[in-house]
């Protein structure tokens, strides 16, 4: 069984005003992902995704397949797993 991890991910591109946060919130439970997503003042989106590495990767691939969302750059770091339920937009 795969370990649970948590990634903080910063996404740059056409990611605000295109339904990015709502798409992530909608898809996350289907991949067993909890966490949060929020817009940043500089035009990027910040996400904290907690789940298996393969679940997180599949979620990111699905988001990248959206015709309105254009991901130009993604930076991530592993952070500590926390006790949490659900997925939230901030």
Q: How far is CA 22 from the centre of its chain?
A: 10
Q: What is the DSSP letter of 59?
A: H
Q: Which of 6, 8, 14, 21 is catalytic?
A: 21
Cα 11 from Cα 45, distance rounded (Å): 5
Annotated catalytic residue, options 6, 8, 14, 39: 39
Question: Is-catalytic flag, 21?
Answer: yes
**Annotated catalytic sites, by residue?**
21, 39
């Amino acid at each position: 069984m795969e370990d649970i991890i948590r990634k903080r991910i910063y996404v740059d591109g056409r990611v605000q005003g295109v339904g990015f946060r709502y798409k992530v919130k909608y898809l996350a439970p289907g991949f067993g992902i909890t966490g949060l997503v929020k817009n940043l003042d500089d035009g990027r989106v910040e996400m904290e995704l907690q789940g298996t590495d393969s679940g997180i990767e599949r979620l990111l691939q699905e988001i990248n397949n959206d015709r309105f969302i254009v991901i130009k750059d993604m930076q991530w770091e592993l952070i500590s797993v926390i006790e949490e339920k659900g997925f939230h937009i901030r």
